Structure 1
Amino acid sequence: MTPADAAPAAEPRSMDERMHRAERTLNIQGAHHEHLANQISELTVGIRELERRIPELMAQGIVAAVSSPATWEAAQNAMQARALNAAGGWLIGSLRFVVDKLLWACLALLAVYTLGGWPAIAAMLKLKAAS
């Protein structure tokens, strides 16, 4: 017996069996394709709903972020770090020094005004100008 004479055991023997097998395969594939089409349809509806809600969801997220004190603190820290990098530490340090000195001067003037009023401030400024 030659290999051409031997029929494979796994193949159906008649044309009807082959047609029946092909029909079952097509039915299974058809059901699978129908299931995939349903899933694609559901996903399309979901995507359209999400696209419709994006502006609303974005607005809610922005309101939540803006109303959080942690967001403002993080923004302030980021702006300070950016300003230090952009202007240099010496400039910010100099500004802090000047503001600090002005605050102390204002406190001193307030203390003198509290103790003696305008005449005391005028006398203090005359003493400062004389020296």
Structure 2
Amino acid sequence: MVSGQLHSSVYGPCGVDDQSMTEISGPPNSGKSLVLQQLMAHCLVPYEYGGRQMSIILINLSHKITKESLGKAVLDELRSHSKAAEDPSAEAKFTEIAKRCVSRVRILACFSTDDVSNSLRKRVLLAGPPQ
């Protein structure tokens, strides 16, 4: 199942709303981080590649998702929605697009509920929403 199909099966035909918050929970080793990373990749990818072209703030409590792993997921998403994936010049283009997509992610590394509260407060007061 590609992430677009996963996205539709999780969120339905309307998809993720702008400025919404999504929580994914479940037992250990059930694939939560993988599902979240695929959904994030779908939301980051430009419209012309089947994505939502959003910015994301990730409150990262598990520390399993990194900008590098997310970049790979975005590349996979781009490849899965393109017929030009076999073209070597397309790979360089996809890499550049993936870098731009990942630059729209703000990762708040948190280790406790106090960290979450402090990070959100600091983010709202000092930085505002991602561009």
Q: Which has the higher contact order (CA 8 A, sep 6+)?
A: 2
Does TM, normalized by the shorter one, top 0.5?
no
- Structure whose CA Rg is larger: 1
Q: Which has a greater percent of helix?
A: 1
With the length of structure 2 as denominator, give the TM-score of the two structures. 0.24
Q: Which has a greater percent of strand?
A: 2
